[in-house]
Amino acid sequence: MAVNLVTEYKEHAQSSTWCPGCGDFAVVAAMQKALAALELPPHQVVAVTGIGCSGKFNYYLGANGFNSLHGRSLPVAQAIKIANRDLTVIAAGGDGDGYGIGIGHFLHAVRRNVDITYVVMDNHIYGLTTGQTSPTSKKGFVTKTTPYGAAEYPIRPLELALAGGAGFVAQGFSGDPKQLAEIMKQAVQHKGFSLINVYSPCVTFNHEETYEWWRQNLVNLDQEQGYDATDRTAAFRYVYEHNGLLRGVIFREERRDYQSELPGYAAEALVRQDLSQPVKDRAELLAAFM
């Protein structure tokens, strides 16, 4: 079943224009494998993207897709899930898209806890616009816009998600697609908002943080004996002590998602409800605003 579904996703996908060696190839492939392992056919999945190299994620995934505005994938993804809770909804973006113009949406999505998965392809640079500093670029990083080195300290998405109360926080690496697929599988299964930050190397414009650099510097939590992913305080400490250079599931907590918390929210998806019936006291309601 899983093999057939992987084939189905690939048959629906469009040909790619990413640079050869781009880490985003592994991100799409890992998500296809995760969705196939969960036996979710393409017509039951929606991928929402913003702008940038990551904005083509929905084209290449092979499921339903919605290309939103720059940094706005999360509000659209949440709206889709609220309208049709039967769909598996994935939002995808890059570090510029999600942690730059989209940072406000990110924080509110974390605290709101709508049942969606957010995948951020983090390469520490703007790739589509040919190599400018991004919100996650390290201090001192030299790019076209920072020829003398970036003056700002980088955004730290893992700490932001943990502080905001995210129920599932993980980080993957394009150089280990097998682990990444397993992380994605767990994230999709999680009830509530899930963040997967993926270190996805830009082979064209970031020549410092290469695949080999990440392999040498990332700590694999799957190999850390005694690590407790259910302890938020321990997760904070681990992320801080390792300067965010981790891969694996960092924190998970089961709790009610946004729709479960809403009083009177019907179990039947909004898109399947009969909206043709007259609203009670419609005339009085209209009169109050006329």
Q: Strands 45-49 and 64-67: what pairing?
A: parallel
Output the pLDDT for position 1. 54
Conformation bin of residue 247: beta by default, left when phi > 0, alpha when psi is -120 to 50: beta
Instruction: Quick: pLDDT tens for 233-244.
Output: 999 999 999 999
Q: Which SS3 state, helix, strand or coil, does residue 120 take? A: strand
Assigned CATH topology for domain 2-289: Rossmann fold (3.40.50)
Domain boundaries, the chain: 2-289
Nearest to 203 by CA among 10, 25, 15: 25
Instruction: Quick: pLDDT tens for 22-62.
Output: 999 999 999 999 999 999 999 999 999 999 999 999 999 99
Output the pLDDT for position 3. 60
Q: Is 288 exposed, middle or buried (0-12, 13-18, 19+ CB in 10 A)?
A: exposed
Instruction: Quick: pLDDT tens for 260-283.
Output: 998 888 778 878 877 776 777 777
Q: How much is the pTM? A: 0.92
Instruction: Quick: pLDDT tens for 124-173.
Output: 999 999 999 999 999 999 999 999 999 999 999 999 999 999 999 999 99
CA distance 286 to 195: 42
Residue 181, pLDDT above cutoff 80? yes
CA distance 221 to 196: 14
Stated as kind and residue range, the H or E segment containing 122 is: strand 117-122
Nearest to 74 by CA among 120, 42, 35, 13: 120
Nearest to 165 by CA among 251, 90, 249: 251
CA distance 9 to 207: 32
Q: Position of tokens 């919605």?
A: 66
Output the pLDDT for position 268. 80
